[in-house]
Amino acid sequence: MDSIMFLLNGFSEVITPSNLLIVLAGSLLGTLVGVLPGLGPTSAIAILLPVTTVLDPVQGLMMMAGIYYGSMYGGSTTAILMNIPGESSSVPTTLDGYPLAKKGKAGTALGIAAIGSFIAGIIGLIGLVLFAPILADQALKFGPPEYFTLLLIALLILFNLTGFSFRKSVIMGLFGFLFSLVGIGITTGTPRFDLGFTFLIGGFEVISIIIGLFAIAEVLKGLEENHMAKKHVKIKSVYPSRQDLKQSIFPIFRGSLLGFFLGILPGVSATITSFLSYDLEKKVSKHPEKFGQGTIEGVAGPESANNATSSGGFIPLLSLGIPASPPLAVLLAALMIYGLTPGPVLFEQNNQIVWTIIASMFIGNAILLLLNLPLVGLWAKLTEVPFGILAPIILLISVLGAYSVRNSMFDVIVAIIFGVLGYLFQKYRWPIIPFILCLVLGPKIERYFIQSLEMSSSSLLIFVERPISLTILVFAVIALIISIVLMKRTKKRILQETGEQMEF
């Protein structure tokens, strides 16, 4: 009941002209970047993150939430119109979305995708309101050993979702952890690994590294591939018929529930749940032979599961400080940049801020539905913008964003260097997300590990002697096995449908 009251207070904060404008701007910007071919939600958040730094923390995070939801919706546009999935979770949408578009029903497919995303988003947010505070309250019983165990196991599970080899993921994770050590020591309070350079005493700015690895690297990748504007199929009416809605309503609810409840489990990504939803719809359908040829259920289910999983991922993010997907890993960095510490204490120390942001998500989802249906034609036109026009705009935003954080050219240089590194990592298939996760979570892991050893006279047995820590380990092993099995199954499906390996 307290959650409902807090949420209502959050709504009272959001429904001011300035805050509504912020949510609207975030939703539009996120969709705008999300519909551009080759730019998924993670890149969209990284590119637009600097734009939010000029705002106060609450408005900045409201805009980031809008950007996240907008970019998730935008990925379905290129999947349906151009048969180009913005990320691996959109692959199932292409299977029936693009055939529908070729039949002249592109608008219908986009409309159902928007409606399904809205319903799934609302269901996910209701779950967030109900479950996140309870989980955070229980996690307040955790001590340093439990937190260390939880973060370490979460990293191992997430490493399995990168779509690359586990060995490469671990190497990149260690690389990120080493960079997190540069600066002032947590226990000593003195500079370390600064190599005698004063500009390294403050450590590396996470925003600069994120901008480099995702935004600048994406520009370099696009220039190499010489992205050309691609024509898409024409759009007629975007408003589904009564028959389309009748066919879609049950797939939408099935996909939403499946995506949410599986999405709150560690290691179950939106890619996995969207494929599971597609397969489920095919099994319950009276005409499974129509799947792959343009059936509306093949769009409704996976799109709903995709967005429900994305919403469900906020539960471990806000209550435990664990990101369940690459976009949420970047959002975790954004929260920490704004001075918030995701985890159990977040709801205690920043109660009003958190509930205001959650309320803004409800409003952002409604805005996306109301705006994106009539604006589908505009988003479709944006898919034809040549990359040569987009590249300098992205670079300008990236450089200004890197400089504005600390008004330092050093951060700009760091962004450019990591832009080149990010391009090379993508080119030679080295995963970036493990690096970001360990860079962001590294200080917390180090702190909890040191505190645990101080509690146990430097004995590592403390991690298995405490009941909660041991329970986390057992649960994590089970979750790891489940995630590996589902991941391998999903990789085979992606290879079967697209003929190539895609990053999760």
For the segment 174-195, the average pLDDT, to the nearest whole number, is 79
Cα three-residue angle 348-352-353, rounded to 5 degrees = 100
- Token digits for 468? 């909660």
For the segment 152-164, the average pLDDT, to the nearest whole number, is 67
For the segment 50-64, the average pLDDT, to the nearest whole number, is 82
Residue 232 has a pLDDT of 56
Has residue 390 got a pLDDT over 80?
no
Q: What CA–CA distance (Å, rounded) separates 357 from 63?
A: 9
Neighbours of 288 (CB within 10 A): 12
Question: 350, exposed or middle or buried, with CB in 10 Å at 0-12, 13-18, 19+?
Answer: buried
Cα three-residue angle 319-265-487, rounded to 5 degrees = 140
Smallest CA-to-CA distance from 311 within 349, 270, 353 is with 270
Asked if residues 353 and 341 have their Cβ atoms less than 8 Å apart, the reply is no
Residue 430 has a pLDDT of 87
Has residue 420 got a pLDDT over 90?
yes
Asked if residues 92 and 277 have their Cβ atoms less than 8 Å apart, the reply is yes
Distances (CA, A) of 355 to 118, 333, 362: 20, 19, 11
Residue 502 has a pLDDT of 57
Q: What percent of the chain has pLDDT over 70?
A: 88
Residue 1 has a pLDDT of 56
- Find which of 35-49, 232-246, 268-282, 410-424 is predicted with most confidence, using mean pLDDT: 410-424
* Range name among 5-14, 456-465, 490-499 with the lowest pLDDT average: 490-499
Q: Where are the domains of the chain?
A: 2-498
Has residue 499 got a pLDDT over 70?
no
Dump pLDDT digits (tens) for 203-235.
Answer: 788 878 888 888 888 788 877 766 555 555 566
Residue 339 has a pLDDT of 76
Smallest CA-to-CA distance from 269 within 484, 46, 30, 40 is with 484
Dump pLDDT digits (tens) for 299-311.
Answer: 899 989 988 888 8
Has residue 197 got a pLDDT over 80?
no
Q: What percent of the chain has pLDDT over 90?
A: 5
Has residue 252 got a pLDDT over 90?
yes
Structure-model confidence comparison of residues 322 and 250, the more confident one: 250
Smallest CA-to-CA distance from 317 within 272, 364, 263 is with 263
| pLDDT bucket at 370, cuts 50 / 70 / 90 | confident
Smallest CA-to-CA distance from 311 within 360, 260, 359, 262 is with 260
| pLDDT bucket at 173, cuts 50 / 70 / 90 | confident
